[in-house]
Structure 1
Amino acid sequence: MTSVIDLYEQLSSAPDDRARARVIAEAFEHMEQRYPEVTDLATGTSLRETELRLQKEIEQLRGEVHKEIEQLRGEVHKEIEQLRAEMHQEIGEVQKEIGEIQKEVLQMRSEMRQMDHRLQKEIAQTKGEIIKWTVTWTGGLLMTHAALLLAGLKYLLGG
């Protein structure tokens, strides 16, 4: 209200029409700076149109996002199934390798038992041969020793 009173005082104290026109022009300029142009003001209709347009865009974006989410879910599900299949295949291969290794272990155990049996047989044969050789050698030595003793006794006894 103070600005209206100031405007009135300036208009009434203006000396001529030219000064009054200048005061009115300054008042309009001040008012234009303070308030936007009427064409720039939003009306209820334009606000409603903008709101409807934005709602439509939001719904469209929601649909696109939902579609992308479903697409990504499908891709992730597909990748998970592919990984499961690959893992199942890998597990099968590992189980096959385990079976082959177990087979090799059994074969090696069998070969080791055969080797052990063969070595025990060879040890027994060698032991028998050593005993036979020792008995033969010892018997020969005893016979030679006895013959020498008898010969020595015969010689000593005069005979």
Structure 2
Amino acid sequence: MSVALELYEQLSDAADDQARFQLIAHAIGRLEEAWPRASEVATAHDVRESELRLQKEIEEVRKEIEVVRGENKDMELRLQKELKQVELNLRKEIESLRGESTKELEALRGELTKEFEALRGGLTKEIEVVRGGLTKEIEVVRGENKDMELRLQKEIKQVELQVQEVRVEVQEARVEIKATEASLRTAIHRQTLWLVGAVGAVVGFIRMLEWLFP
């Protein structure tokens, strides 16, 4: 295999320009090694042929490098175009997802609003029912309190009448007690006078006995 063909295959498999330049330098080194040494006799014709062959191989390598550069440039442009297209597609998908999310949020907000309004309406009705029941119970309690108040007032009046009657009875009893007390005092006074008279009689009788029987 010639040096040019081997260099071509190596350049085709090279990863970047730096590797290609190294391959070219290595090929030139090999060519230099293949040139006649100072100890060898070389004719001008041989030197000219070697020079022409080397120039031809160098031109082929340059053309290959230009082809590879063109391919890399085309690949770079294609990748940039694909990258822009991917970015555009991603933006479209993001906008689409954002729009769908907004619609879903609006729908969810509407459903929650409806449920909240329905719940508020139900609670309002229940509150009104409870309020009506409490109002009726309050009216019943007020009526019962009114009846109780009237009954208590009636009972209080009856108690006041009974107290008045008791006062009259007490007053009458006081009058009777005073009359009884006066009667007792008169009787006691009379009894006292009788006792005094009796004692005086006894004393007089004793003195008379003392006088009769000294």
TM-score (norm: length of structure 2): 0.48
Output the amino acid matched with 1:14.
E
Match of 2:111 among 78, 98, 102: 78
- Distance in 1 between residues matched to 2:177 and 2:88, nearest whole Å: 128
Q: Are the structure 2 counterparts of residues 128 and 37 from structure 1 closer, same or farther at C-alpha, using a change threshold of 3 Å?
A: same
Shift of 1:58: 3.0
Shift of residue 154, structure 1, vs aligned partner = 6.7
What is the Cα deviation at residue 151 of structure 1? 6.1
Per-residue CA shift, 1:72-122, capped at 9, x if unaligned?
211221112111210221122123323322332333233223222221221
User: Which segment is superposed worse, 114-123 or 91-100?
Assistant: 91-100
**Among residues 126, 130, 154, which one is paired with 1:121 in the alignment?**
154
Structure 2 counterpart of 1:14, from 6, 9, 32: 32
Higher relative contact order (CA 8 A, sep 6+): 2
1:110 aligns with 2:143: yes
Give me the identity figure in percent. Answer: 14
Give 4+ residue runs of structure 1 displaced > 6 Å after superposition: none
**1:10-159 equivalences in 2 (<5 Å):** 11=29, 14-16=32-34, 38=71, 42-44=75-77, 47-52=80-85, 54-150=87-183, 152-153=185-186, 156=189
Gaps of 5+ in 2: 1-20, 36-53, 194-214
CA separation of 1:127/1:50 partners in 2, compared to 1, >3 Å: closer, same or farther? same
| CA offsets 1:16-53 (integer angstroms, 9 cap, x no match) | 35xxx9xx9xxx9xxx9xx9893585254554355345
- Greater Rg by CA: 2
- CA distance in structure 2 between the aligned counterparts of 1:48 and 1:140, rounded to whole angstroms: 130
